[in-house]
């Protein structure tokens, strides 16, 4: 963790409920590749901020549906992964385990739901929370690989809370537009409210913007990310 990131965590921690470390990457054999944490735990403890362990299906810097398939459908790999998550969470003092599994195969939807049920049973014995990141859907049968394996109703029943990924409509490779436009964000939240209690919904909000080169030309230079201060 860079000194700048540690300082940002130090400044934000007094105002945060959760401080998440992105990310613990699940591997095809059920092991975990851990991010550097340095003194994030001490920073969180000082302000009574709950440490969130973010587990992803990232592989070679991209979300992998094949990695997801193995984790969710191979019983031995799944059990080994859950064992390793529990061991790491005990070691570092994480109190919320957050799954950010993206671009899963549509046919693994129920396997993901069952994975979360199994994980919840393990984590509740430890007294931990479980949460998930959900793609920004506006209906249950929304087509597209980003959406189909994310079952809002099941997640609402299984986990303690979900984080809706209500951002990135405007993105670095696309045309200039709001990153989190209020109309589409509202539609996602209104759909989520039909599937789960409001108390389980956390709205994702970007703390960054983009600076596009105008006039915009598809395939042209990527927009530069800019900080809240900028």
CATH of the domain at 36: 3.20.20.80
Angle at 188 between CA 26 and CA 223, to 5 degrees: 70
Phi, psi of 205 (to 5 degrees): -135, 125
Is residue 213 one of the residues assigned to a domain?
no
Q: Is residue 172 included in any domain, yes or no?
A: no
Query: What is the rounded CA–CA span in Å between residue 32 and residue 37?
Result: 14
In a domain, 158, yes or no: yes
**For position 25, what pLDDT does the model report?**
98
* Nearest alpha carbon to residue 163 among 127, 130, 121: 130
Share of the chain above pLDDT 70, in %: 100
Question: What pLDDT score was predicted for residue 116?
Answer: 98
Q: Is residue 76 in some structural domain?
A: yes
pLDDT reported for residue 121 = 98
Residue-range definition of the domain harbouring residue 15: 3-165
Alpha carbon distance 30, 53 (integer Å): 16
Question: Residue 41: inside a domain, yes or no?
Answer: yes
Catalytic site residues?
102
Structural domain contains residue 138: yes
- Radius of gyration over alpha carbons of the chain, in Å? 18
Question: According to the model, what pLDDT value does residue 22 have?
Answer: 94
Is the CB of residue 168 less than 8 Å from the CB of residue 207? no
Distinct helix (H) and strand (E) counts, the chain:
8, 11
Report the number of distinct structural domains present in the chain: 1
Residue 147 in domain: yes
Residue labelled with tokens 């696309």: 174
Lookup: tokens for 100: 């950010």
- The parts of the chain modelled with pLDDT lower than 70 are none
Both tokens assigned to 105: 């195969």
How far apart are alpha carbons 69 and 72 in whole angstroms?
5
Peptide bond into 143 cis (omega under 30): no
Q: Which residue in 149, 152, 146 sits closest to 168, CA to CA?
A: 146
Structural domain contains residue 58:
yes
């Amino acid at each position: 963790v860079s000194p700048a990131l540690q300082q940002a965590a130090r400044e934000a921690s007094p105002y945060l409920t959760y401080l998440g470390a992105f990310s613990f990457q699940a591997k095809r054999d059920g092991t975990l590749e851990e991010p550097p944490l340095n003194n994030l735990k001490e920073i969180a403890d000082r302000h009574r901020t709950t440490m969130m362990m973010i587990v992803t299906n990232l592989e070679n810097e991209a979300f992998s549906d094949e990695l997801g398939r193995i984790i969710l459908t191979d019983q031995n790999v799944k059990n080994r992964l859950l064992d390793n998550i529990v061991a790491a969470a005990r070691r570092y003092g994480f109190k919320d385990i957050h799954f950010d599994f993206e671009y899963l195969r549509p046919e693994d939807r129920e396997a993901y739901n069952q994975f979360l049920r199994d994980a919840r049973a393990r984590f509740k014995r430890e007294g931990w929370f479980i949460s998930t990141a959900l793609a920004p859907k506006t209906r249950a049968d929304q087509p597209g690989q980003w959406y189909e394996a994310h079952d809002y109703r099941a997640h609402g029943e299984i986990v303690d809370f979900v984080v809706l990924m209500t951002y990135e409509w405007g993105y670095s490779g696309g045309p200039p537009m709001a990153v989190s436009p209020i109309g589409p964000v509202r539609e996602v939240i209104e759909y989520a409210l039909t599937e789960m209690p409001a108390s389980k919904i956390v709205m994702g909000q970007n703390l960054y913007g983009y600076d596009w080169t105008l006039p915009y030309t598809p395939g042209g230079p990527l927009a530069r990310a800019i900080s809240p201060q900028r």
